[in-house]
Chain A
Amino acid sequence: MSRQYLKSAEVPFEKITAKTFPKGPDSLASGHRACQGCGEVLALRLLVKALGRDFMAVSATGCMEVCTSPFPQSAWEMPWLHVAFENAAAVASGVDAGNSILRKKGKLPDKRIPVVAFGGDGGTADIGIQALSGAMERYHENFTYVCLDNEAYMNTGIQRSSATPFGASTTTSPAGKLSKGQNTWKKDMPAIAAAHKIPYVATASPAFHLDMMNKIRRAAAIPGPAYIHVYAPCPTGWRMKPELSVESSRLAVNSRVFPLYEIIDGQYIINRKVDKPVPVAEYFKAQGRFRHLTEEDIAQITERVNQEYEHLVKLSETFNEPRY
């Protein structure tokens, strides 16, 4: 069957390779106040590096917003706007509407301006899900939303969110005599985004930096809304050594805990097949948030991880009707 129906996959964009890696100055300046070894600010730095400076950024309240914008300083090199916690998607949709009408009226050059909103997992999967759903459904032409998922409310002190994985101990899902930590399974945000039938959804990890950087380039190039769910290790909140944030990103992918895939025009595509997964225990080992789990608990989690991965493989092998 022809795959040319993947219209959005055909949208050209300048691909980054190891050789063409943008070596110029970062678009996110040093001097930000992120913790030592912060995997979230690393992901953010690489994402905005991939886009350069010809775009507009919107942030939800959260670690990345606070640590990059203490008045009178800002780490952002491109036009940047922060309003509140739950509304980054709505703010970005307004920026895009403003840009678009000004462009239409000839008040701005006739050139697309990507608008990229960044939120944490709380700002995306919990408090911001309504604004995000609205923005995706309204189909703003130059809208990209990036969820930087460190799997809890880190900025307020490591409280659980709906993106916290099963078994993780947080300050509001603590492990205890009667508790194994978080007792719910991680909310499937990419599937929720895909349910809006937007042209582009992807997961990405800073350990696979070229894959991640090309995904945001593609997201910005494709007309219509895009959603990228980025794995963002938090050494502070995960009780992990700061030097391990990239290694934990790698292990999350290689253990199938955080698979890398795209959903282009409704079609699932796995970017990195993991046929021989690293044991989930290996991924858990460095992180204090999982330290209380027994072998039995980890076996239960592994079973679920494998089920979800197999489901993803099935989806990627299924022809999905194009959704234009």
Chain B
Amino acid sequence: MSKTKISMEGAVKAGELPLGFAARPGSTRNFKTGDWRSARPVLDREKCIYCGFCYIYCPDGVYQDMGPEEKYYKADLDYCKGCGVCAQECPKNCIQMLVEEV
């Protein structure tokens, strides 16, 4: 028997893999892409007209509709990669990209 201890690099046992190497729908939500970010969107709710362009144009789908009473869209910073498309597309210029300290 070999005495050498080797590291097991596999993240899962072969016998525990799902049939056909398949995955559950929408499961990338388990992966938070927020730590890619170097700047985060900050909304000036005074100026916001609740048009939804930030929600529509976000490539990562991070904006959530806070409803007709709150009348704004909130960025989920767990996923926001800080691309700045929302700030660029906001017709009222009410989103600023605030550089985050590391």
Answer yes or no: A and B touching, Cβ < 8 Å: yes
List B30-62 residues whose CB lies under 8 Å from chain A: 30-33, 36, 52, 55-62
* Cβ 8 A contact of B25, one of A74, A209, A243, A247: A74
- Report Cα–Cα, A80/B26, bound state, in Å: 11
Asked if A242 lies at the interface with its beta carbon under 8 angstroms from chain B, I say yes
In the complex the two chains form, is B65's CB within 8 Å of A30's CB? no
- Contact A246-B60, Cβ < 8 Å, known A23-B65, A31-B28, A74-B25: no
* Cβ 8 A contact of A73, one of B21, B31, B55, B87: B31
List B78-95 residues whose CB lies under 8 Å from chain A: 78-79, 81-85, 87-89
- Report Cα–Cα, A29/B62, bound state, in Å: 9
- Contact A30-B88, Cβ < 8 Å, known A37-B59, A42-B57, A72-B23: no
Residues of chain A at interface, number, CB under 8 A: 40
In the complex the two chains form, is A68's CB within 8 Å of B85's CB? no
In the complex the two chains form, is A76's CB within 8 Å of B85's CB? no
Asked if A320 lies at the interface with its beta carbon under 8 angstroms from chain B, I say no
In the complex the two chains form, is A76's CB within 8 Å of B25's CB? yes
- Report Cα–Cα, A243/B59, bound state, in Å: 10
* Cβ 8 A contact of A74, one of B24, B36, B60, B65: B24
Asked if B29 lies at the interface with its beta carbon under 8 angstroms from chain A, I say yes
- Contact A73-B23, Cβ < 8 Å, known A29-B28, A36-B36: yes
Rounded to whole Å, the gap between the CB of B54 and the closest CB of chain A is 11
Rounded to whole Å, the gap between the CB of A270 and the closest CB of chain B is 24
- Report Cα–Cα, A36/B18, bound state, in Å: 31
- Report Cα–Cα, A74/B89, bound state, in Å: 28
In the complex the two chains form, is A30's CB within 8 Å of B85's CB? no
- Report Cα–Cα, A27/B76, bound state, in Å: 17
B-side interface size class: 35 or more
- Report Cα–Cα, A42/B28, bound state, in Å: 16
Taking CB atoms, residues of chain B closer than 8 Å to A70 are: 28
* Cβ 8 A contact of A243, one of B31, B52, B84: B84
- Report Cα–Cα, A23/B92, bound state, in Å: 21
In the complex the two chains form, is B12's CB within 8 Å of A72's CB? yes
List A32-71 residues whose CB lies under 8 Å from chain B: 32-34, 36-39, 41-42, 45-46, 68-71
* Cβ 8 A contact of B33, one of A31, A37, A78, A209: A31
Taking CB atoms, residues of chain A closer than 8 Å to B59 are: 34, 37-39, 41-42, 45, 245
In the complex the two chains form, is B21's CB within 8 Å of A75's CB? no
Asked if B27 lies at the interface with its beta carbon under 8 angstroms from chain A, I say yes
* Cβ 8 A contact of A242, one of B26, B52, B85: B85
In the complex the two chains form, is A75's CB within 8 Å of B56's CB? no
- Report Cα–Cα, A256/B27, bound state, in Å: 39
- Contact A30-B79, Cβ < 8 Å, known A72-B12, A73-B28: yes
Taking CB atoms, residues of chain A closer than 8 Å to B25 are: 29, 74, 76-78, 80
Taking CB atoms, residues of chain A closer than 8 Å to B33 are: 30-33
List A150-167 residues whose CB lies under 8 Å from chain B: none
* Cβ 8 A contact of B82, one of A36, A77, A246: A36
Taking CB atoms, residues of chain B closer than 8 Å to A23 are: 55, 65
Rounded to whole Å, the gap between the CB of B9 and the closest CB of chain A is 15
Q: Which residues of B contact A (CB under 8 A)?
A: 12, 18, 21, 23-33, 36, 52, 55-62, 65, 76, 78-79, 81-85, 87-89, 97
Could you list 16 further interchain pairs (A-B, Cβ under 8 angstroms) beyond the known A38-B59, A76-B26, A245-B85? A23-B65, A28-B61, A29-B26, A30-B29, A30-B60, A32-B60, A34-B59, A39-B59, A42-B57, A70-B28, A72-B27, A73-B28, A73-B30, A75-B27, A77-B25, A247-B89
- Report 14 cross-chain contacts, Cβ distance below 8 Å, ordered by A residue: A30-B29, A30-B33, A30-B78, A37-B59, A38-B83, A72-B27, A73-B23, A73-B28, A75-B26, A78-B25, A206-B57, A241-B84, A246-B88, A247-B89
